[in-house]
Structure 1
Amino acid sequence: IPEDIIGKVFDPFFTTKGPAGSGLGLASVHGIISALGGHVTVTSIPGSGTTITIALPPVEVASPPMIATKRDTTPTRTGRRVILVDDDDDVREATAQFIRERGFEVVEASTAYEGLAAMAQSPPDVLVTDIVMPGGMNGLDLADLTRQEFPGVAVVLMSAYADALIPDRSPMPHRLVCKPISTDDLLDALEHAGQEGT
């Protein structure tokens, strides 16, 4: 990798492949590793090769319990595990509480990269993500990347600006819930997305 380019390889949407590349591959790797508390570096010698080094913090593995615990009999829905991504803490927490009260397990993330990291650890049944988010990757980018990397994960998009942001994306492969969120619409989207798995 030329010296004038090596500092840009982790930038979102930077690519040397033209239209054939999305520019999200290494940016996604960097975001996931950072969200997991690690770091990634790249060294390159033109004509010899490139080395990408990933360092992750150690993880403590809990010992299995000596006595079997009673199995949780809490009822769950078809799409029982949801990753919820929204940079607005108040909206995310209120939405997560509503989803949990309907029997789903919810993992919260405040950025698209945190959502990717959570999916890399354990893919959910459904990804619910806001569209407008800071950090170099928005909800549409996350939805498209999820469809490529985790094709079994259903996607539900949320936005207060849906008409302006996605006028040319109809028909979309994802379900859409407009903000302010109707709880009936959100629950309907979750249940249908979980059943379809698309």
Structure 2
Amino acid sequence: LFYEAVARPSFLRVAGSNWGGAVTPDDEDRYIAEHVKPVDGPVVDLAAGAGRWTTVIAEAVGADRLVAVDSSLPMLNVLRGRLPDVPAVLAGAADLPFADASVGAVVCWNALQAFYDEAPAAIAEAGRILRPGGTFTAMTFRRSEDPVYRYFQSAHRFPQHEGGLRLFEPEDLRRWLTEAGLTVREESGPGTFVFLTAVKEA
């Protein structure tokens, strides 16, 4: 409750420059519903956390197609209480327990920055497990171009980032996607948000 009611909205304001509320929870849900268009195979909610967006993905594609993956057992326990019909898998983003070209879509929502050092490997893993035509849909954050605001972004600390939060340069994200065999279909986002959808090349 604290995470969803207090910590997460505060984090979005800082990381996304969302002080005016330009991005709302409804905006996030709408993006997922509009852009997650899986081909055959299961849909993986990567770094699903406590299941806030797993619910949205389940509504978009069907709970029977969905698999939630996270490296935190306490988070998955909450998710399972929320969504008992969705299988939950304990695994890290850089080593996913799925066969090559076996998945119809991967969603990584508000999570890539939580494992910054593993982000290139996580994107490579998404590319590996996706079937041709499958989509990788993500929301994360870029570093501000304003050096003062960039300082405040990097000063944000929580358990995974005791040395300060690190965010992405858009060109790095695009390069990692290309190296994973993914082509960016859509990229947007106000402030320092990054919303993107990429497609696995045939």
TM-score normalised over the length of structure 2: 0.38
Pair member with larger Rg: 1
Normalising to structure 1: TM-score of the pair? 0.39
Does 1 or 2 have the higher relative contact order (CA < 8 Å, sep 6+)? 2
Q: Which structure dedicates a bigger proportion of its chain to helix?
A: 2
